Amino acid sequence: MASAALGTQVAAAALEPVGSDGFLKGSSRKSNNCLNFRSKPWVGKSLAWEKTQQSRHLNKVFCMSVQQASKSKVAVKPVELENANEPPLNLYKPKEPYTATIVSVERLVGPKAPGETCHIVIDHGGNVPYWEGQSYGVIPPGENPKKPGSPNTVRLYSIASTRYGDSFDGKTASLCVRRAVYYDPETGKEDPSKKGICSNFLCDSKPGDKVQITGPSGKIMLLPEDDPNATHIMIATGTGVAPYRGYLRRMFMEDVPTYKFGGLAWLFLGVANSDSLLYDEEFTTYLQQYPDNFRYDKALSREQKNKNGGKMYVQDKIEEYSDEIFKLLDGGAHIYFCGLKGMMPGIQDTLKRVAEQRGESWDQKLSQLKKNKQWHVEVY
């Protein structure tokens, strides 16, 4: 399993969520001032696009947010976003999507990264609220090639920001998108006719462009907040890091009145090489500022070797820390998996082997983790 391209088809970050029946107990917050997302009585008019927005976001939000975190936590608004008892779901559907505006598109990876991954900030004007761990649907412009006369189908993307967005005002959402391209296995050349329609549309977008979005959707990856001192083990390959960026900003960057994290967040990120690391500066800042509450382990398949001399994949890092991980799971830790679906067989095999070495039945352990709502998987 490689965390970069699998075969000749480079995967985009379009999600195919694994089920929707895993609603996490305790993930909603209690409040006497309950917002009703479905009726949308509180939603104001969408902000008109202004050129000043572009410079504000580009120059301040994306770059300065890490610097802000190193000084003190950032105030967020509107705090009323904390009041809802249930997550917003499917406020906008494919037949009636919301027209949002592209704020910025930033290349996230370095020159030696295989492929291109972009951080895309979208202005929804506060009209399409979401919770950390949810997804937006994006409808790229143009006709569906398989259904002439019909619009393109919806592609799902994990949201890579907290509910307050990168501008901390509840009016934007961020996506982490890998540009999907296809290389002919015989010639080794790129075939533009088979490129990913939506990922290329998003990565090619310019500030001010309009984008049709649906959602938000998803419950499986919601961050359980009933215990602010819980342990969260987050495992990602590539753009699968998106929901974890939202979790970590909520835990360590934002001053959220109703959520004061005091537990342990442990991130395992698998990518091809150092140039492929996503949001590394943010995560490194948390490591420096909160060494007792955050751990960060990277598996760089083209730069590191596992104990057997082979390429270092994320499951090798899991095996390296397996005793600690199993003890944390026995103590109630939540474990999350997000990324290419090809990551799961290797991880499952590793966990099963470790369990057997410990004299445990992995099947029974997995069943118990699922029963306890500790096991969260969303792969694509």
The residues annotated with a catalytic role in the active site are 157-158, 338, 378, 380
Cα Rg, the chain, nearest whole Å:
20
Give the list of residues 6+ apart from residue 210 with CB closer than 8 angstroms, or none. 99, 100, 101, 102
Q: What is the 3-state secondary structure (H, E, C) of 102-135?
A: EEEEEECCCCCCCCCEEEEEEECCCCCCCCCCCE
| Strand-strand pairing, 294-300 and 264-271 | parallel
- 189 three-class SS: coil
Residue 271, class by beta-carbon neighbours within 10 Å (0-12 exposed, 13-18 middle, 19+ buried)? buried
**Distance, CA of 120 to CA of 57 (rounded, Å):** 11
Contact 102, 211 (CB under 8 A): yes
Token pair 């005091």: residue: 262
CA neighbor of 268 nearest in space, from 324, 222, 349 = 324
Separation of alpha carbons 282 and 119, rounded Å: 13
205 contacts: CB under 8 Å, gap ≥ 6: 102, 105, 120, 211
Binding site members for NADP(+): 158, 178, 239, 301-302, 311, 339-340, 378
Amino acid identity, position 360? E
Confirm if 378 and 159 have CB atoms less than 8 A apart: no
Cα 178 from chain centroid (whole Å): 12
